[in-house]
Amino acid sequence: MQLTYLDWACIALYFVGNFAIGLYYRGRAGTSINEFFLSGRNVPWWLAGTSMVATTFAADTPLAVTGMVARGGIAGNWLWWSFVAGGMLTVFFYARLWRRCGVMTDIEFAEVRYSGKPAAFLRGFRALYLGIPINCIVLGWVNLAMVKILMLALGLTRLQALVAVLCMIAVTSMISTLSGLWGVLVTDVFQFFIKMTMVIVLAFAAVQAAGGMSALKLKLELLDQAHGVRPGTHSSVLSFVPDLNSPWMPMITFLVYISLNWWATWYPGAEPGGGGYIAQRMFSAKDEKNSLLATLWFNIAHYAIRPWPWILVALASLVLFPGLEDPETGYVRVMIAYLPASLRGLMLAGFAAAYMSTIATQLNWGASYIVNDFYRRFLVPAAPESHYVLISKAATLLLTAVSAVVTFYLTSIAAAWKLLIVTGAGTGLVLLLRWFWWRINAWSEVSAMSAAFVTSLALQLAGGLDSDQPVDFAWIMIITVAVTTLVWLTVTFLTAPESNQTLLKFYARARPGVSGWGPIARLAPEIPDNNDGWYRGLDWLAGCALIYGILFGTGKLLLGEWTAGLSLLGIGLAAGAVIWWDLSRRGWKSVGE
């Protein structure tokens, strides 16, 4: 792909803008690790929520979505669409609780909810396990996506592309270490605007290159026929929900997506009950109300607004570049071949923005685990704040180096996604219930993590199952969830509960409600019962209807199915009105203090 001087000027201006933001917020970040990692807990909902969206809008995401559509049709996106229900649980059941706990990281929560050596071990282990290897796998697949993009777009070798990516990591790491979370948040908004604009432009160009929407649908119907599928059925590549005989997605895989994924699986950005960088943004919000609104806006933008530009390009790539050995590259090939020359620099800047927003967040979040939950907690507990800020910057550089090594060993982005999902299968239920059931203890979490990892690994290494194959993925999930749940429940009842003192302290701090906390609530009658579970359940159902209504309604309209599209959009908007009515009726009771 040929770039003009104007293209290079656009790319240069993008990097200058990022540096300017980093320098502007440099003074705030250096005052304390509370400022460095949480922006002084003074972030408005729109900034925190948009940052969440920008972080999940990585350079790898459109490539992974293209691969999913190539292998499973539009319905292949249920791998991540299935997390909507879990996201809505976080919004209405957990966002306010996280903000109320006042911790710096979700890992620190272990020693708020539990006590003693088991709690300390859990905190330290999760800090290192999630902060370094798991975080670096995520960083690695984001790096891999950018390597693929640069190889195709600029004709670089893999080594040259990796060197270029390392330079971009260095720039991102420098900005992150300079400005802390404030710089990450503000650059996220700047980057989100650029990348959202450009993916919409590319989607339009892709559909036009395929001959327009009508011609694209006709060509996809011919593709269905080549696979022995009758057009217009649920087996079609255009179907939002597959049928039992779908060659694009087996029904057992689809059922696992909608019945297990959203509550049983730990996955970065979609942790049951919230966690990771999503929790970090909730902690940084001004108050509980801003925490809830930030998470609600994130879920709406992430699932309902953003997917279709990616999916349209993916569908176009199936007819414009059929039979690709690596279908994930279809997205980049469409960009190279059909994007107007005058927009190529902006598109590459958009990819850089998608890449850097995710990298900056992962580095800042991972460093917060290493410093706050391991180094400060176990190694150097009483140093000045300036010392911890310095160590935070060193931890950021460490993660940068390790992630570069991981990139060498990854080949498929979607496969890495699935690997993390099956590795965390079965841990979700304990993460959800630890807030609302007093009997869970630290050993419950330790046993769940251990059982999930060992079981999924055994099924893949000894059992011969491949998480990248749809049916194998489904069986790995089913077996791992069943074994893990049995193990952690058994361990919970065989070990002693946390002390009443620990449980009372947590109950008073988080105020999760009497349900599930009966024995402890009776010891603290002065703490009011926040008895609004039914209303939150209503909001949860309405939230799911809101997102799926807008998501599928938009899709139907884009495909020219006006009646179905407008009906689904109406359902989504009506569900949104229910949420606003309920929260306004209660005067945001139980949402803000």
Question: Domain for residue 273, yes or no?
Answer: yes
Measured between alpha carbons, how far is 398 from 303 in angstroms, rounded to an integer?
33
pLDDT, residue 229, reads 63
Question: Domain for residue 485, yes or no?
Answer: no
List pLDDT tens digits, range 511-528. 888 889 999 999 988 887
State how many domains the chain has: 1
Question: Domain for residue 431, yes or no?
Answer: no
Residue 235: name the closest of 77, 73, 71 by CA. 73
> What residues in the chain have per-residue pLDDT under 70?
1-3, 22-37, 175-180, 227-235, 244-249, 267-269, 408-423, 530-531, 587-593
Question: Domain for residue 388, yes or no?
Answer: yes
Host H or E run for residue 102: none
Q: Enter the DSSP assignment of 528.
A: P
pLDDT, residue 593, reads 44
Question: Domain for residue 572, yes or no?
Answer: no
For 221-236, b/e burial (b = at least 16 CB within 10 A) is bebbeeeebebeebbb
Neighbours of 8 (CB within 10 A): 12
pLDDT, residue 399, reads 86
For 486-510, the three-class secondary structure string (H helix, E strand, C coil) is HHHHHHHHHCCCCCHHHHHHHHHHH
Contact predicate 573/549, CB 8 Å = yes
* Residue 130, domain CATH: 1.20.1730.10
pLDDT, residue 504, reads 95
At 210 the three-state DSSP class reads coil
Question: Domain for residue 567, yes or no?
Answer: no
List pLDDT tens digits, range 352-410. 777 777 787 788 778 888 998 999 999 998 888 788 888 887 888 888 788 777 776 66
pLDDT, residue 591, reads 47
Question: Domain for residue 579, yes or no?
Answer: no
Question: Domain for residue 319, yes or no?
Answer: yes
Model's pTM, two decimal places? 0.84
Q: Which domain covers residue 46, as residue numbers?
A: 5-423
